[in-house]
Structure 1
Amino acid sequence: MEIITGVPEGWPGDEAAALAVQGELRGRVVLDEPGPVPGAGLVTGVDVAYDDERDLVVAAAVVLDAATLEVVEEATAVGRVAFPYVPGLLAFREIPTVLAALERLDSGPGTVVCDGYGLAHPRRFGLASHLGVLTGLPVIGVAKNPFTFRYDQPGPRRGDSSPLLADDGAEVGRALRTQDATKPVFVSVGHRVSLEGACAHTLRLARRYRLPESTRHADSLCRRALKEAQAAAA
């Protein structure tokens, strides 16, 4: 499996430089578009997996038909970790390889769903926002945990939700119940999608399980690709 050895030109190499890039790009996030119609067109799940001992990161992109949830196309990319581990700056470790996986798709990705955060980030610029600004695509974040934000438990039924709140009281996302009596997921806007739209997309993608099918497929694919990369590197 080919390993991508380079990172984008000018990619930050330390925390100070990454924070400066975050601050500059954050102003480009588009928050006033409703986004694509949920259940129409294509939707692409992206996810990453690491082998820190070998300094490898694998990204997977899986395109689904938004109406049927059938897999249309999938792609992977393997790269070297592009940035040290710093909480709040994880996008800088992942995005070069995620972009490489997206570029290998023949179909347009449509709406992109990240296993992570968008506005639900200490500086309001998580992976979903960062990826959206760099690609221009509509992107949403669907995370398994609420990070540093507070929320009340939503009602017990599928579709129930409650605000995900920052310390200043701003709503940065929603705790969304995707299945009856299961733990919620945490949805936030990335780029060019409204919060209502992001929640509607998430519910359509999570017809049977807690996590969206886009995330489930991308997680499975990147785990398989990581095992292949590890075997090739052994």
Structure 2
Amino acid sequence: MTSVHTPADEAEARAVQDELRSRVVFDEPGPPPGQGLVAGVDVAYDDERDLVAAAAVVLDAATLDVVEQATAVGRVSFPYVPGLLAFRELPTVLAALDALTVTPDLVVCDGYGLAHPRRFGLACHLGVVTGRPVMGVAKNPFTFTCAEPGPARGDASALVAEDGSEVGRALRTQDGIKPVYVSVGHRISLDNACAHALALSPRFRIPETTRHADALCRRALRAAVGHGASGTSSQP
């Protein structure tokens, strides 16, 4: 089982990010869009009970049919600190991924990778820890500036950091609908990540991977709250 160490405090968490950041691989293109298996991961919280539920849903990239899905529920083990959210989410996300019986070729996070104040968001952290290609597709912009992309599906504009570097893209996945924000996590190029985001979003703004994982983790959290239980589950 893949596991991560929970830092004792913010300083240790930032030190972990600094150490792992050097392991991110940016020079691989990643798997081709529309082929193989793509997993979406997402989490839901019950702050009153300190519970977090994670879901991993694997889709056939060619048909977007669900191949397998798994959930995990655990206790929140790290406080909310902007820029350090991965430490709250990773343990349960990893438990959900470990509960799968298939190995996805790509993992899509509902969040950021390189487009992160410390250049090491959840998608980067998850990629380094698992060794798998990972990308981030966020619903909202973070701390970077970007021009409004064109109105048509596939139009994109750069997410630009203070030093002028491109850390991601605002991508229009549906005509006339607000964009999503794509960034590299690990072992995938930005061009390819955007192509995957489009391939996974044939009808809606949000990729099908995220749509399925979002619904599943919410159901898992409701069930856990109702039963007062934690653990993992997997089903085809």
Normalising by the smaller structure, the TM-score range is over 0.9
Match in the other structure for 1:96: 91
Alpha-carbon distance in 2 for matches of 1:11, 1:102: 18
Match 1:179 to one of 167, 174, 180: 174
Within a 5 Å distance, the mapping from 1:25-44 to structure 2 comes to: 25-44=20-39
Task: Flag the 1:101–1:119 CA change in 2: closer, same or farther, 3 A.
Answer: same
Among the aligned pairs, what percent are the same residue?
Answer: 74
The secondary structure found in structure 1 opposite 2:107 is strand
Task: Flag the 1:9–1:224 CA change in 2: closer, same or farther, 3 A.
Answer: closer
Alpha-carbon distance in 2 for matches of 1:200, 1:179: 13
Residue by residue, what CA displacement relative to the aligned partner does 1:50-103 show, whole Å, maximum 9, x if unpaired?
A: 001101000000000000000000000001101000000000000000000000
Within a 5 Å distance, the mapping from 1:6-155 to structure 2 comes to: 8=3, 10-155=5-150
Task: Flag the 1:64–1:17 CA change in 2: closer, same or farther, 3 A.
Answer: same
Residue by residue, what CA displacement relative to the aligned partner does 1:144-170 show, whole Å, maximum 9, x if unpaired?
A: 111111000000000000000111111
The secondary structure found in structure 1 opposite 2:174 is coil
2:184 paired with 1:222: no
Structure 1 spans left out of the alignment, 5+ residues: 1-6
- Root-mean-square deviation (CA, aligned residues, Å) is 1.2
Alpha-carbon distance in 2 for matches of 1:47, 1:67: 21
Alpha-carbon distance in 2 for matches of 1:9, 1:148: 27
Contact in 1 for aligned 2:21/2:119 (Cα 8 Å)? yes
Alpha-carbon distance in 1 for matches of 2:4, 2:66: 33
Task: Flag the 1:22–1:208 CA change in 2: closer, same or farther, 3 A.
Answer: same
Contact in 2 for aligned 1:102/1:109 (Cα 8 Å)? no
Alpha-carbon distance in 1 for matches of 2:180, 2:5: 35
- Which letter does structure 1 place at the counterpart of 2:186? H
Task: Tell me the CA shift for residue 8 of structure 1.
Answer: 4.5
Contact in 2 for aligned 1:151/1:164 (Cα 8 Å)? yes
Alpha-carbon distance in 2 for matches of 1:55, 1:139: 27
Task: Tell me the CA shift for residue 114 of structure 1.
Answer: 0.1
Alpha-carbon distance in 1 for matches of 2:58, 2:3: 24
Contact in 1 for aligned 2:3/2:94 (Cα 8 Å)? no
Match in the other structure for 2:163: 168
Alpha-carbon distance in 1 for matches of 2:197, 2:5: 34
- Which letter does structure 2 place at the counterpart of 1:129? C
The secondary structure found in structure 2 opposite 1:62 is strand
Structure 2 spans left out of the alignment, 5+ residues: 230-236
Contact in 1 for aligned 2:36/2:104 (Cα 8 Å)? no
The secondary structure found in structure 2 opposite 1:218 is helix
TM-score (norm 1): 0.96
Task: Tell me the CA shift for residue 10 of structure 1.
Answer: 3.8
